[in-house]
Amino acid sequence: MSIDKKEIEIKVLDSLDELRPFFHADGGDMEFVEVQDDGTVIVRLLGSCSDCSMSSMTLKTGVEETIKKNCPQVKRVIGVNMPSTI
């Protein structure tokens, strides 16, 4: 990667701050967990986001798109404590 992990972390945190009003409007939030060497960013879903049936779609269409737009070095975003889909 041509950018170091700390710079990616800063851009991810800025992206989450940009999205935070939308999370809060639905009673939820997300926090940065880590950036891995392969460009994967891990976030933790909080509040109502942690058990919302739409969290997977929100993660891909909202969070991942925004983070990738702000930091193209990110390859994917995954959430921990996502609700299971059975």
Q: Supply the mean pLDDT for the chain.
A: 87
**How do the domains of the chain map onto residue ranges?**
5-80
| pLDDT tens string 40-49 | 999 998 888 7
The pTM for the full model equals 0.85
Predicted local distance difference test score (pLDDT) of residue 68? 96
Q: Is 47 in contact with 81 (CB distance < 8 Å)?
A: no
Q: Is 6 in contact with 26 (CB distance < 8 Å)?
A: no
Q: Is the pLDDT of residue 3 over 70?
A: no
Any idea which fold 5-80 has?
GMP Synthetase; Chain A, domain 3 (3.30.300)
